[in-house]
Structure formats: structure tokens, C-alpha cells
């Protein structure tokens, strides 16, 4: 071995030193290192299990969320349809009310117009009678003799008396 440049005494001392250091390290740190490695491995496994659990929960929540979104969309569609129907009913009620109000106003205005028309006709008749009376008085005064006037007055009185009876 010496030919290889290895000193057997030195090799033996190094082996003994290695074994002493190995024994000391084994007694002092090996169990601690194994314990730390075991704890680390345990934490890694727990983290992986937790990750799988979270992933499964996440997928479950995703499904639930998708279902809830679907339900919410259906509910929103139903609410929209109900609101649309209510708006149509409300619009119809407003239109009916407006029509009735307009018809009432038209009837009221027509009645007022008819009343005004009757009043105007009555005024016109009264004025026509007054004018006719004035014209008749002037004609009678200017063109008839006193005896003819008296006979006309007597005849008118008889007609009035016959109407009263």
C-alpha cells in the first residue's frame, strides 16, 4: 500500500477518527435529524392532504356556485317577467284610466257646449222676439188705424184667455 502512497497507520487513525466522529454524531444528532426529517415529512404529507381537501372543497364550492348562479339567473328571469307583466298591467290600467278621463272630459265639454248652445239659442230667440215685437209695434203704429189696432189687441187678449183656460 505504501507503493500507492497510502500510509497504513495514518489510514487506521483516520478510520478510527471517522468512527469516533460518526458515533458522536450518531448519538448526538442522528436522532434529532431523523426526528426533524420525520416531522418535515409529516408536515409535507399533511400539507398535501390539506391541499387535496381544499381542492375537493373548491371543486364542490365551484359546483355549488354554478348551481346558485343558475338559480339566481332563473330567479332574476322570473322577477323580470313578473315586473314586465306588472308593468303591462299598470300600463293598461293607466291607459284605461286616461281613456275614461278623456271621455269624461269630452262629455263634460260637450254638455257645456250644448248648454252654451241652448243659452245662445234662447238669447237669440228672445232677441228675435224683441226685434219682431219692435218691428210689429212700429208697423202697427205707423200703418194701422186706431180701430184696427184695438181689434187686434182684443183678439190677442181672447187668444191668451183661451190658452189660460
pLDDT of residue 165: 64
pLDDT of residue 1: 63
Average pLDDT value for residue range 46-69: 91
> What Å distances lie between residue 146 and 20, 106, 153, CA to CA?
178, 57, 11
Over 80: is that where the pLDDT of 41 sits?
Answer: yes
pLDDT of residue 137: 79
Q: Tens of pLDDT along 89-148?
A: 999 999 999 999 999 999 999 999 999 999 999 999 899 988 888 887 787 777 777 787
pTM equals 0.38
Which burial class, exposed, middle or buried, applies to 140 when counting CB atoms under 10 A from its CB (0-12, 13-18, 19+)?
Answer: middle
Amino acid at each position: 500500500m505504501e507503493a500507492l502512497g497510502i500510509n497504513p497507520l495514518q489510514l487506521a487513525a483516520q478510520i478510527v477518527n471517522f468512527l469516533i466522529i460518526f458515533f458522536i454524531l450518531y448519538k448526538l444528532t442522528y436522532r434529532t435529524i431523523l426526528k426533524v426529517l420525520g416531522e418535515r415529512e409529516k408536515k409535507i404529507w399533511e400539507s398535501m392532504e390539506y391541499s387535496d381537501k381544499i381542492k375537493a372543497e373548491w371543486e364542490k364550492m365551484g359546483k355549488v356556485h354554478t348551481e346558485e348562479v343558475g338559480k339566481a339567473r332563473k330567479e332574476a328571469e322570473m322577477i323580470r317577467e313578473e315586473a314586465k307583466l306588472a308593468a303591462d298591467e299598470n300600463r293598461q290600467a293607466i291607459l284605461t284610466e286616461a281613456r275614461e278621463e278623456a271621455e269624461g272630459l269630452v262629455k263634460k265639454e260637450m254638455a257645456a257646449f250644448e248648454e252654451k248652445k241652448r243659452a245662445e239659442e234662447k238669447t237669440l230667440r228672445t232677441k228675435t222676439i224683441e226685434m219682431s215685437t219692435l218691428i210689429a209695434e212700429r208697423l202697427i203704429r205707423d200703418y194701422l188705424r186706431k180701430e184696427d189696432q184695438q181689434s187686434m189687441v182684443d183678439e190677442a187678449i181672447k187668444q191668451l184667455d183661451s190658452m189660460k183656460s
